[in-house]
Chains A and B, each alone.
Chain A
Amino acid sequence: MAIEVRIPTILRSYTGGAKVVDGSGDTLADLLTDLDSRHSGLRGRLITETGTLHRFVNVYVNDEDVRFLGALDAKLSDGDSVTILPAVAGGAFGFAAAAAISSHSAAAAAISSHSAAAAVSSRGTAVAAR
């Protein structure tokens, strides 16, 4: 079964420059595993070392943010369209949490494998504000 996956600019180095690739899987986790078999390294940019979806990447199934669909357990069906976007975030905030974040390779930290407590707490704020 084919699921269309839209790849953001910053991750197209894993897809040979392709903006859209096809994959398969019953859940988002399965899909990412399937994609990684052909686009090695892609999964590692989206999932943390503890096996959760990275906080600073947004993944959508059709028109829904997967955070509201069970995250990596989000169910997929043939014909679904999955969109990956690096979250656009930042700001002057510069206490310990920022240091914790930036002590990791700044290169791709936006969607690299490490999250941070402050980032998570800010997510809470964002959700609450909806």
Chain B
Amino acid sequence: MPKQPEIKFVEGIVADAVEDVVYRMCPMHLMRLEERMKELRKGQILELQTDYEGALVDIPDWCRKTGNELIGVEDTGEFFKFYIKKTVD
């Protein structure tokens, strides 16, 4: 298991688009993340909902690799809401 990066937990972020992959199996969270980010403009925010705990590692990694910004994660108790800001074209 790779070392879990530091994650900022947040509340009340308003996103420009929402993608719900709760209960969908890995790697749907990454596939849908990539697809939806392509549709957004620079500066817009995606809220990605998933119950997959591995996303706590994968999504920060994906953001680091692609240069997009992970604003933070909200834990609803049932699933996570990842807020990702498109910072690169």
Pairing of A with B: no
